[in-house]
Amino acid sequence: MRGTGPDDGAVLVEATSLVKVFGGVRALDRVSVDIRLGEVRGLVGENGSGKSTFIKVLAGYHKPDAGTISVDGEPVALPIRLESLRTTYIAFVHQDLGLVGDLSVMENFFARDIARARAGSVRERFVPRRAYRRHLRACLDQYRIPLHDLDQPVGELTPLQRAMVAIVRAVDEIGRSGAAKSLLVLDEPTVYLPEDQRGMLYGLIRDIVADHNSVLLVSHDIDEVLEVADTITIFRDGKAIDTIASSESSRREVVEMMVGLAPGRVEAMAEKARSARAATLGSAERVVELRHVSSGAMTDATLQVRTGEIVGLAGLVGSGYEVVPRIIYGLLPVASGALEICGNPVTSRGHSPTGAIELGVVLVPRDRIREGGVGALTVNENVFFPIRSRFTRRGVVRWKDGWSWVHDQLVKFDVRPPDGARELSTLSGGNQQKAIFSKWSQMQPKLMLLEEPTQGVDVGARLGIWGFIREAASGGAGVLVASSDYEELVELCDRVVIFVAGSVVTELERSELSKQNILNACYARANATRMEL
Amino acid sequence: MIKTDELVGGDGGASAAKRRRIGVPQPGRLTRATGLQFLEKSALFVVWILVILVFSLLKPGTYPTLSNASTILGSQSTLLFLALGLMIPLTVGEYDLSVAYNLVFSSLVIGVLNSEGHVNIGVAILVSLAVAAAIGVLNAVLIIYVGIDSFVATLGTGTFFGGMALWISGSNVIGGISNSLVTPIIIDKLFSIPLEFYYGLAFTVILWVLYRFTFLGQRLLFVGRNRDVAKLSGVRVNHVRFWALVVSGLFAGLAGVVSAGTSGAADPTANISMLLPAFAAVFLGATTITPGRFNPWGTTASVYFLVSGITGLELVGAGTFVQQLFYGGALIFAVALSILARRRRLLSASRATEAAAAAGR
């Protein structure tokens, strides 16, 4: 399939010169894209580049202001009414997958049938469970998905299983539509999947694509698109900049097209920061040290971070790497072993987040909205919260000074818009993360604990956040980054500590850092992706 | 629940070799898990039997008797109708705190029309059911179209109609309701149990069929668990919420009819205390049969389980305060139990994932 170039196959969906304006901003600026039969087309671009608007036009959610769309050679009326397409079926799997965690695999799989069943006779009011069960079993078998308890709540499945259920559900929808041709649109299906589990999903996507099926894969992960897609369309500033064959392109080219930087700039920035910091590392002192620490599934962790150093934590899910920040922060108890923060021995009994903050430790948690900040409160309130005592005199808060301090922080950390009065949840993912980053960075921490700092964040914000992390390290903070994004670890870290089955097995030094090496080390003993299912 | 042999594959599933290769849990573990699930589903019934055994031993002369069984089974239909009705809005994710007041108000409508106004009992019943459903419509409008949180909206309407009930009755019990209502409710018996018990049973069966087998029942679930997904799948979410609240009102009205028939009178205050027992029964019901989901048989079983315990305690000499202790305790216990069970299920699911990974190393 990888051999399929952009010139093979008839055009299935052809969008020509689409224009869509929102409040004076051109979300789509003469966008022309044609998707061919039997190809996996990748769609990449930063947030705000127009790719979501494009998808929404395809879904019939937006009516473009100008331009035309043809499906299977026939011009269609806009906005597209998906159910009126005669020969082609277009199905969507959105980022949240559209599954209900408390309901069973079977109930979720047939959600549309359940929702739309309109009864004629009494018999038609009843759910045909046996038929459903048989059909679902056949679908899962066809794509070799090892799910056996169809009555299991979807919430108990692994993220990978959930993604597969959602995708197979869409494929089945296509199959049952009876349409001769189809397009499956996958909108960021792997955002919540750890990198080592994505392979199986890619296999599924390749299985789906056939002569009469095409897939449009929207993703912020460029490596993923390069691996899975045959061709890649790059969006920037509302324009479809180019469509390239993935076999002939590199990551760097794609990033540079997305961000619009001159070739080589991205790498140059990273290298400059690193070498500036390397000079100071020699005389550094330890900000945190773990000696043979165990806690829950983590059996033996020994590691240290020095001032000015960025240390990565990696491993498979459940290998223990992901709990290290939480142990240091006092959220999880130290069962045995020794933990020292800035030279202070920490006992399990006395350790808590409050104590950690007093020692100069901050944690930027993985789950932005649930743990990082309060979505329903304003940016001002969120950022101000940890430093409120600085602006309090005799019990009275000096709000005006506080807000202007926060405003400076928002500008410094490039939060767009730098409007503290907005609710945090109204910001884009990347800007939320920058706001939360500013919330903790303003504390001048000695140790920053970061969990998946750029998960689900667009490329521009990602580069920005990496910049802030480097800046914090240059300013003398030690940084510990737990990430399942190996590319991020390679870009950022001075060294990476690898966990396998609850203990540290390897440390990769700067010179040894590459995605492949990290992956190999993670699989040192657990040697198969499939086992993770 | 599906059978063990289906779980481990058989002809429909992957071959044993394939299963081993991809690290699917082996049959032994699954059987144990299924056993545990069975225990969870039947725990309420086990405890119920224990309660009956204990009180039968303590009070052999009065507890395990036909007349006591008849009293227990025949006395709870008002609460049962209330609880079954309440279950429906709870399933779609809405509270209805007005049900007990609605019950009181609609029984007073019967009392006022029939015993004071000498209106035909059939007409009085129809009017009272219409009033009860109208209160449901009012709730639905406030919640769905005005956008008031259901907890607040129904607390308000309930209190309002509680006040109306006191007003139209002059705070007095209205007696003398026609015997043509009382007779088929509590006087006529089948196997020594008043007919009202069988009415409750009939509605349990109807709701069970609805919940277990129909598209409509599934839609209620989707709306309750994730409104966005339901909407995107094509469910008319507000439509479903609207009717759930109206039907809940209607059931409260039916409870009012049963209550008027049981006592031959309409009391403007007494039945308001049924609100908490109804919640306790619905939540306790969700811990059994299909744990984690509100279900009709669970609700019905809980109503009778709770009264079995209360009757026993009263027979051994506890005061009427024991009702409050029992219902309040049961509500907290039931909700705590389902939270713990859910936590355990999620934990064991993640353990199984880890174990599958470990097995492949």
Phi–psi pair at A120, nearest 5 degrees: -105, -70
Residue A1 reports pLDDT greater than 50: no
3-state class of A437 per DSSP? Answer: helix
Residues A91 and A217 in one domain: yes
Residues from chain B contacting residue A122 (CB–CB below 8 Å) = none
Q: Do A258 and A386 lie in a common domain?
A: no
Residue A310 lies in a domain: yes
pLDDT of B114 strictly over 50: yes
What is the rounded CA–CA span in Å between residue B152 and residue B145?
Answer: 14
3-state secondary structure of B116: helix
Picking from A444, A461, A488, the residue at the C-terminal end of a domain is A444
How much of chain B exceeds pLDDT 90, in percent? 33
Helical H segments across B141-264, by residue range: 150-169, 179-182, 195-213, 215-225, 227-233, 237-263
Same-domain check for residues A277 and A353: yes
Tokens 């390679």 belong to: A490
DSSP state of A312: E
Which chain B residues have a beta carbon less than 8 Å from that of A298?
none
What pLDDT, on the 0 to 100 scale, is given for residue B288? 83
pLDDT band (50, 70, 90) for residue B7 = very low
Q: Among the ranges A303-307, A397-401, B32-36, which has the highest mean pLDDT value?
A: A303-307
Model confidence pLDDT, tens digit, residues A230-239: 999 988 878 8
Res A200: pLDDT = 76
Our CA angle for A22, A23, A28, nearest 5°, is 30
Helices (H), ranges, B92-194: 99-110, 121-140, 150-169, 179-182
CATH class label, B34-353: mainly alpha
Mean pLDDT of chain A: 82
A297 belongs to a structural domain = yes
Q: What pLDDT sits at residue A279?
A: 62
CA distance B344 to chain A (A): 11
Q: Is the pLDDT at A526 greater than 60, yes or no? A: no
How confident is the model over A117-121, as a mean pLDDT? 75
Residue A242 has pLDDT above 80, yes or no: yes
Same domain, A41 and A59: yes
Q: Are residues A399 and A523 in the same domain?
A: no
Q: What pLDDT score was predicted for residue B361?
A: 38
Q: Give the integer Cα–Cα distance in Å for B201 and B205.
A: 6
- Residues A308, A380 share a domain: no
Convert the pLDDT of each residue in A95-115 to its tens digit.
Answer: 778 888 888 999 999 988 888
- Contact check, Cβ <8 Å, B233/A532: no
Least Cα distance to A204 among A368, A442, A381, A40 occurs for A40
Contact indicator for A9, A178 with CB cutoff of 8 Å: no
Residue A177, pLDDT above cutoff 90: no
Residues A204 and A256 grouped into a single domain: yes
pLDDT of the residue at A457: 77
Shortest CB distance from A533 goes to which of B7, B23, B345?
Answer: B23
3-class secondary structure per residue, A257-297: HHHCCCCCHHHHHHHHHHHHHHHHHCCCCEEEEEEEEEECC
Q: For residue A498, what are the CA distances in angstroms to A6, A480, A509, A532? A: 40, 13, 11, 17
Across the range A121-143, mean pLDDT stands at: 85
Set of chain B residues whose Cβ sits within 8 Å of the Cβ of A152: 349
In a domain, A169, yes or no: no
* Minimum distance, in Å, between the CA of residue A15 and any CA atom of chain B: 25
Query: Looking at A215-229, A383-397, B4-18, B196-210, which range is the least confident one?
Result: B4-18
Residue-wise burial string across B232-268, b where 16 or more C-beta atoms lie within 10 A, e elsewhere: bbebebeebbbbbbbbbbbbbbbbbbbbbbbbbbbbb
Task: Let me know whether A330 and A213 are in one domain.
Answer: no
- Statement to judge: residues A280 and A334 lie in one domain: yes
- Encode pLDDT of A353-376 as tens digits: 888 888 889 998 887 767 777 777
Determine, yes or no, domain membership for A120.
Answer: no
Contact A148 B359 (CB under 8 A): no
Query: Domain boundary at A403, A418, A444, which?
Result: A444
Q: Answer whether residue B45 shows pLDDT above 90.
A: no
**DSSP state for residue A212 in the 8-state scheme:** T
Residue B145 pLDDT level (bands cut at 50, 70, 90) = very high
Amino acid at A73: G
A60-80 pLDDT, tens digit per residue, is 888 889 899 988 888 888 888
**How much is the pLDDT for B351?**
64
Q: From CA B130, how far away is CA B249, in angstroms rounded?
A: 9
> Is the pLDDT reported for residue B331 higher than 50?
yes
pLDDT of residue B352: 59
Name B214's bridge partners: A126
Q: What is the mean predicted confidence (pLDDT) over B216-240? A: 85
Asked if the structure places residue A366 within a domain, the reply is no
B249-277: per-residue pLDDT in tens?
A: 999 999 999 999 888 888 888 888 889 88
pLDDT of residue B187: 77
Domain identity same for A278 and A346: yes
Mean pLDDT within B55-74: 86
Report the distance separating Cα A503 and Cα A495, nearest Å: 17
**Residue B216 is nearest to which of A125, A150, A532, comparing CB atoms?**
A125
Check CB contact under 8 Å for A151 and B1.
Answer: yes
Strand partners, B189: B194
Q: Which residues from chain A sit within 8 angstroms of residue B221, using beta carbons?
A: 103, 107
Which amino acid is residue A102, in one-letter code? D
Q: Chain A residue closest to B343 (CA)?
A: A156
Whether pLDDT at B225 is above 50: yes
Q: Is residue A116 part of a domain?
A: no
Interface probe, candidates A149, A151, A322, A522, chain B, greatest B C-beta count within 10 A: A149
Instruction: Identify from A61, A108, A124, A156 which residue to disrupt to test chain B contact, counting B C-beta atoms within 10 A and taking the largest count.
Output: A156
- Which of A229, A262, A295 is the C-terminal boundary of a domain? A262
* B36 interface with A at CB cutoff 8 Å: no
With 70 as the cut, is the pLDDT of residue A525 above it?
no
Within B271-339, strands assigned E span none
On the question of pLDDT at A436 being above 80, the answer is yes
Q: What pLDDT score was predicted for residue A527?
A: 42
β-sheet with A11-22: strand ranges across: A25-36, A11-22, A66-71, A74-75
B101 pLDDT above the threshold of 90: yes
CA A514 to chain centre: 20
Q: Is B183 on the interface with A (CB under 8 A)?
A: no
In a domain, A515, yes or no: yes
Flag whether A152 is in a domain: no
pLDDT class of B320 with cuts at 50, 70, 90? confident
Q: Give the nearest partner residue to A156 out of B215, B233, B349, using CB atoms.
A: B349
CB spacing of B21 vs A530 below 8 angstroms: yes
Q: Looking at the structure, do residues A428 and A449 belong to the same domain, yes or no?
A: no
> Tell me, what's the pLDDT at B22?
35
Question: What angle, rounded to 10 degrees, do the helices at B275-285 and B321-359 form?
Answer: 20
**CA-to-CA dists, residue A10 to A5, A211, A245, B87, angstroms:** 12, 10, 17, 55
**A531 → closest Cβ in B213, B349, B360:** B360
The position carrying tokens 């277990």 is: B212
The predicted structure's pLDDT at residue B130: 95
**Taking every pair of C-alpha atoms in chain A, what is the biggest distance, in angstroms?**
82
Does the structure show a pLDDT above 80 at B354? no
Residue B270, judged by CB atoms within 10 A of its CB (0-12, 13-18, 19+), counts as middle
Residues of A in contact with B18 (CB under 8 A): 144, 146
Say if residue A406 is in the same domain as residue A419. yes
SS3 content of chain A, % helix, strand, coil (to 5): 40, 25, 35
Q: Does B26 contact chain A (CB < 8 Å)?
A: no
Check residues B28 and A141 and name the one with the higher pLDDT. Answer: A141
Task: Examine the pLDDT at A2 and tell me if it is beyond 60.
Answer: no
CATH number of residue A480's parent domain: 3.40.50.300
Among B70, B104, B80, B154, smallest CA distance to B257 is for: B104
CA distance B137 to chain A (A): 23
Q: Which of residues 328-347 of B touch A (CB under 8 A)?
A: 345-346
Q: How many domains, in total, are found in chain A?
A: 3
Distances (CA, A) of A73 to A6, A42, A76, A85, A333: 17, 22, 9, 12, 63
Residues 221-260 of B with CB under 8 A from A: 221-222, 225-226, 229-230, 232-235
pLDDT at B303: 93
Split at pLDDT 50, 70, 90, the class of B11 is very low
Instruction: Give the pLDDT score at B133.
Output: 95
Q: How far is B3 from chain A (nearest CA, A)?
A: 10
Reported as a single tens digit per residue, the pLDDT across A471-505 is 888 888 899 999 988 888 888 898 999 998 888 88
Look up residue A42 and give its two tokens. 């990748």
Overall average pLDDT of the B4-10 stretch: 27
C-alpha distances in angstroms, B306 versus A265, A303, B45, B76, B278?
72, 57, 11, 10, 11
For B165, the 3-state DSSP assignment is: helix
Residue that wins the pLDDT comparison between A251 and B222: B222
| Cα–Cα distance for residue pair A357/B152, rounded to 1 Å | 39
Residue span of the structural domain in which A416 resides: 372-444
Report helix angle A159-177 to A129-142, nearest 10. Answer: 110
Cα end-to-end span (Å), chain B: 32
- The conformation of residue A50, written as its DSSP 8-state character, comes to S
How confident is the model at residue B360, as a pLDDT? 42
Report which listed range, A160-164, B75-79, B171-175, is most confident: B75-79
